[in-house]
Amino acid sequence: MKVGFIGLGIMGTPMALQLLNKGHQLTVHTRRQVPEAITAAGGVRAANAAAVAKEAEVIITMLPDTPDVEAVLFGEHGVAEGLKGHAGERKVVIDMSSISPMATKAFAQRINALGADYVDAPVSGGEVGAKAGTLTIMCGGDAAVFQRVKPLLECMGKNITLVGGNGDGQTTKVANQIIVALNIAAVGEALVFASKAGADPAKVREALMGGFASSRILEVHGERMIKRTFNPGFRIQLHQKDLGLALQGARELGVALPQTANAAQLMQACAAHGLGELDHSALVQALEIMAGHPVAKG
């Protein structure tokens, strides 16, 4: 297919490469310089998002936050401009960013009014999953449109689910981020406790991996906490943004999310100490500061 890809950051670049490596034609646009790996694999740079939309059958966005998606879709030289006047088969916009579910519903309506379809398809799995093509993809949109674009999504992910209509994919992603944040906080507390009590945190983690406390977070992020490898797969500041979406939604729905609020405060503490660009596993550093004790020496 002729695909457009807008946003070539930590996640977007390996996702775009998955599409190129599986034979799709790719027109790309990003705020920064297009990575050499993309052009080497056959990706063609467009001057702006409107040019991407004019060229592609399916336009994928992978951007940091709700305002970024709105600007790319509806701002000057945005995707909407490139969709106007198209007379062929309906084009599809797939937003794979993690943004507001309510804004997503509004964006979908505006894209539909231009004669195109919209799927929200946020992802989970981090940079590792993006590079391996094993992302979990949570989709919201029309069932027939989802089936049309599913082969593209299968290039980038393994667990691909149509949850419901537009906005439901983003709601699922917010729920995912709540679970992940709380698990990171739990693993961090456990390892800080064990280390300060004098136990070897690596051995504690090894023991826990064989019991009911075992989890993907303990496996991957527990190891990061012990080895002090906090280079970003998913940055604290982005997870902080996602928890903000959760708490905003909770206020609108009249739902209490006390543990989510606590995890958000831990991430805020990390940001206040200049750690916002680190991987979200570095949330443990807020706990270490409070305990006056690191899980392990870096």
Residues designated catalytic: 173
How distant, in Å, are the alpha carbons of 24, 45, 203 from that of 258?
45, 45, 31
Burial class (CB in 10 A: 0-12, 13-18, 19+), 87: exposed
Strands 123-124 and 135-140: antiparallel
**Rounded to the nearest 5 degrees, what angle is found at the Cα of 64, between the Cα atoms of 175 and 180?**
30
Closest CA to 1 of 165, 155, 215: 155
* 96 in Cβ contact with 123 (< 8 Å): yes
Task: Indicate the residue type of 122.
Answer: P
Closest CA to 192 of 77, 295, 112: 295
The continuous run of DSSP H or E covering 29 comes out as strand 25-29
Task: Indicate the residue type of 293.
Answer: H
Residues 142, 191: Cα–Cα separation, whole Å: 44
Burial class (CB in 10 A: 0-12, 13-18, 19+), 277: middle
* 141 in Cβ contact with 169 (< 8 Å): yes
How distant, in Å, are the alpha carbons of 28, 45, 135 from that of 32?
11, 11, 24
DSSP-derived secondary structure letter, 5? E
Beta bridge partners of residue 44, listed in sequence order: 27
